[in-house]
């Protein structure tokens, strides 16, 4: 960008609490995300992706799929069914323990996750430099799992620390109760307990039960991975923050099967690769990404980290990376009676592989990308809203804008749109002033605008206008597709 371009663009400062409100309204107005069944008053935490949202979400999933499968010769994908034999969820431990501890505030009638209240309290103590007290509470929190009555232990810890609700400051707590997050439904004509099926709460189990099918069909040798993108359902106690916590959402998961004893090395390699993916492939700001190491591990894990993102409402998880040991395959061996061992053909060793899992959510990531990209600035003295999305993520890659809609200019623009649309999603816009049309594209994150003007009629060149700098240059119209292709590599 030249100095003169810089003086044309001035970034305005934005208060973080207003950003969410602006994002929700932009998302609806421009067709990224609508409330589900809105004409009937909507449904809590359910959303529909509109024309631009579904394109952008598809881009996110395609980028993940490409990075995780095409770029790794030893990772293949599957698409397993949402409903599975219910014994799967007994084996995985979800029926017995996919519970969240909930607690209610009698005064405000609001509901919270008891574990989240304590974790946030520990974080706050650490931030305030009260490290000794933080360590003491952390120790007590870890001891909850061993307590004869875990609910009571959580409740007592909340009272002992005088923890208040973060949003209201109230703390008129009820006892803690466990709540199973799985949605149940009945399969078949008669609804009774014998035909209960669950909507899967994670995509991972569809991968574990297909371990041997995939290994045999794809002639895979350990280490190898299976990737999957699909819907998951959780009856979340605390919903909200737009698409951050939904009851129906989409996961992008990969389970990497390794020889026992090599899992930590594999874990570290995946940890690095996944973190860099957000920066190198999606273009997220490095400063907004954070690591969180789990001190309290799930029963199946021997190491776990989260990648967190600085959302306008706080730093929250977007991906979990877990070393899941041989827990899942061993459980499926136990419950199904089928041997889940792997036989190493060269050494004749038999073992149940260990698993390193990378698990992210495309909806949460969508919100992270939107909030990372949202900017307000002033160009040539006029305010504008811009989504500074990476060209790879942006739903529309380029706009074709004829200065005049009629005659040869319009025809040339038509041909350009037709040519580009063979490979890219482009928009054609011939209504309103050129400045207004640029702003319409800035607001949906279109990285490039191609303007067909008077000079185009003389020498077949067009103006490329760059979204971020608002700077312009001329290129040969015949090179437009090549130009775009190079920006999307």
Site string (147-186) toward ligand ATP, x via CB under 6 A: ----------------------------------------
Q: How many CB atoms lie within 10 A of CB 432?
A: 11
**Cβ closest to ligand ATP, residue 5 vs residue 236:** 236
Which residues does 377 contact at the CB level (< 8 Å), separation at least 6? 9, 10, 11, 12, 383, 384, 386
Which residues does 100 contact at the CB level (< 8 Å), separation at least 6? 113, 115, 178, 179, 181, 236, 237
**Cβ closest to ligand ATP, residue 246 vs residue 449:** 246
To ligand ATP, the closest distance from the beta carbon of 116 in angstroms equals 8
Name the segment binding ligand ATP (CB under 6 A); options: 104-112, 333-341, 357-365, 406-414. 357-365
**Cβ closest to ligand ATP, residue 320 vs residue 447:** 320
Question: For ligand ATP, which residue of 5, 104, 156, 236 counts as binding (CB under 6 A)?
Answer: 236
- At 384, list the tokens: 């504008």
Answer yes or no whether residue 309 interacts with ligand ATP by CB under 6 A: no
Question: For ligand ATP, which residue of 364, 384, 437, 465 counts as binding (CB under 6 A)?
Answer: 364
Answer yes or no whether residue 20 interacts with ligand ATP by CB under 6 A: no
Site string (242-281) toward ligand ATP, x via CB under 6 A: ---xx--x-x------------------------------
Question: For ligand ATP, which residue of 53, 312, 361, 447 counts as binding (CB under 6 A)?
Answer: 361
Kindly write down the DSSP assignment for every residue of 302-369, as one continuous string. Answer: SEEEEEEEEETTEEEEEEEEEE-TTHHHHHHHHHH-----EE-TTT--EEPPEEEEEEEEHHHHHHHH
**Cβ closest to ligand ATP, residue 236 vs residue 273:** 236
- DSSP assignment, residue 261? T
Name the segment binding ligand ATP (CB under 6 A); options: 361-369, 405-413, 422-430, 468-476. 361-369
Residues of this chain, 200-229, that bind ligand ATP according to CB under 6 A: 202
Among candidates 175, 173, 181, which has minimal Cα distance to 150?
175
Question: For ligand ATP, which residue of 320, 353, 395, 447 counts as binding (CB under 6 A)?
Answer: 320
Answer yes or no whether residue 328 interacts with ligand ATP by CB under 6 A: no
Question: For ligand ATP, which residue of 319, 326, 372, 442 counts as binding (CB under 6 A)?
Answer: 319
Name the segment binding ligand ATP (CB under 6 A); options: 126-134, 318-326, 329-337, 443-451. 318-326
Question: For ligand ATP, which residue of 326, 363, 429, 442 counts as binding (CB under 6 A)?
Answer: 363
| Chain-centroid distance, C-alpha 273 | 16
Q: Is 123 exposed, middle or buried (0-12, 13-18, 19+ CB in 10 A)?
A: middle
Which residue matches tokens 């730093």?
315
Among candidates 286, 312, 368, 423, which has minimal Cα distance to 56?
368
To ligand ATP, the closest distance from the beta carbon of 301 in angstroms equals 11
> Cis ω on the peptide bond leading into residue 223 (within 30° of 0)?
yes
Per the DSSP assignment, residues forming a β-bridge with 112 are 103
Name the segment binding ligand ATP (CB under 6 A); options: 214-222, 315-323, 457-465, 477-485. 315-323
Name the segment binding ligand ATP (CB under 6 A); options: 157-165, 312-320, 323-331, 445-453. 312-320
On the CB side of 346, CA atoms within 13 Å amount to: 2
- DSSP assignment, residue 81? -
Number of residues that bind ligand ATP (CB under 6 A): 16
Question: For ligand ATP, which residue of 358, 359, 390, 446 counts as binding (CB under 6 A)?
Answer: 359
Cα distance between residue 262 and residue 273, in whole Å: 17
To ligand ATP, the closest distance from the beta carbon of 369 in angstroms equals 13
To ligand ATP, the closest distance from the beta carbon of 370 in angstroms equals 14
- At 195, list the tokens: 């035909």
Contact (CB, 8 A) for 363 and 277? no
| Chain-centroid distance, C-alpha 13 | 26
Q: Closest-CB residue for ligand ATP?
A: 361
Name the segment binding ligand ATP (CB under 6 A); options: 137-145, 353-361, 431-439, 459-467. 353-361
Contact (CB, 8 A) for 373 and 366? no
Question: For ligand ATP, which residue of 57, 121, 215, 234 counts as binding (CB under 6 A)?
Answer: 234
Site string (107-126) toward ligand ATP, x via CB under 6 A: --------------------
Cα distance between residue 153 and residue 4, in whole Å: 63
Question: For ligand ATP, which residue of 317, 341, 376, 468 counts as binding (CB under 6 A)?
Answer: 317
Among candidates 365, 421, 379, 433, which has minimal Cα distance to 397?
421
- At 2, list the tokens: 């030249």
Answer yes or no whether residue 308 interacts with ligand ATP by CB under 6 A: no
**Cβ closest to ligand ATP, residue 225 vs residue 320:** 320
Cα distance between residue 174 and residue 57, in whole Å: 40
Q: How many CB atoms lie within 10 A of CB 217?
A: 11
Cα distance between residue 141 and residue 122, in whole Å: 9
Answer yes or no whether residue 360 interacts with ligand ATP by CB under 6 A: yes
Q: Which residues bind ligand ATP (CB under 6 A)?
A: 202, 234, 236, 245-246, 249, 251, 317-320, 359-361, 363-364
């Amino acid at each position: 960008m030249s100095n003169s371009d810089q003086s044309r663009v001035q970034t305005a400062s934005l208060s973080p609490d207003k950003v969410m409100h602006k994002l929700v309204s932009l998302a609806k107005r421009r067709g990224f995300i609508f409330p589900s069944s809105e004409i009937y008053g909507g449904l809590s935490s359910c959303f529909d992706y509109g024309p631009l949202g579904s394109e952008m979400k598809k881009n996110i999933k395609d980028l993940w799929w490409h990075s995780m499968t095409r770029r790794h010769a030893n990772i293949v994908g599957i698409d397993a069914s949402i409903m599975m034999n219910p014994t799967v969820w007994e084996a995985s431990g979800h029926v017995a323990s996919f519970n969240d501890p909930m607690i209610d505030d009698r005064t405000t009638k609001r509901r919270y996750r008891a574990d989240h209240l304590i974790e946030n309290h520990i974080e706050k103590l650490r931030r305030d430099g009260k490290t000794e007290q933080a360590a003491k509470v952390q120790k007590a929190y870890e001891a909850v799992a061993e307590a004869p009555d875990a609910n009571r232990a959580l409740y007592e810890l909340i009272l002992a620390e005088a923890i208040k609700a973060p949003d209201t400051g109230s703390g008129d707590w009820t006892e803690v109760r466990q709540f199973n997050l799985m949605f149940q439904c009945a399969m078949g004509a008669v609804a009774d307990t014998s035909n209960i099926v669950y909507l899967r709460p994670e995509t991972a189990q569809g991968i574990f039960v297909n371990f041997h099918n995939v290994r045999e069909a794809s002639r895979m040798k350990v280490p190898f991975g299976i990737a999957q993108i699909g819907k998951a359902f959780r009856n979340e106690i605390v919903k909200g923050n737009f698409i951050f916590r939904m009851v129906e959402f989409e996961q992008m998961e990969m389970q990497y099967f390794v020889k026992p004893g090599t899992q930590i090395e594999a874990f570290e390699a995946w940890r690095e690769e996944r973190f860099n993916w957000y920066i190198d492939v999606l273009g997220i700001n490095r400063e907004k990404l954070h690591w969180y190491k789990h001190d309290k591990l799930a029963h199946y894990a021997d190491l776990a980290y989260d990648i967190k993102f600085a959302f306008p409402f706080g730093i929250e998880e977007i991906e979990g990376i877990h070393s899941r040991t041989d827990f899942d395959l061993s459980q499926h061996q136990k419950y199904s009676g089928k041997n889940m061992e792997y036989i190493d053909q060269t050494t004749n060793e038999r073992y149940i592989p260990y698993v390193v899992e990378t698990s992210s959510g495309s909806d949460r990531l969508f919100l992270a990308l939107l909030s990372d990209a949202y900017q307000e600035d002033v160009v040539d003295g006029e305010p504008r809203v811009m989504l500074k999305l990476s060209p790879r993520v942006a739903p529309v890659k380029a706009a074709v804008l004829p200065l005049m809609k009629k005659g040869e200019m319009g025809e040339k623009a038509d041909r350009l749109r037709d040519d580009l649309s063979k490979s890219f999603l482009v928009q054609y816009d011939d209504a309103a002033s050129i400045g207004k049309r640029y702003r319409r594209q800035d607001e949906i994150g279109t990285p490039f605008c191609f303007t067909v003007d008077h000079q185009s009629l003389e020498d077949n060149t067009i103006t490329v206008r760059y979204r971020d700098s608002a700077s312009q240059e001329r290129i040969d119209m015949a090179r437009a597709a090549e130009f775009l292709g190079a920006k999307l590599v």
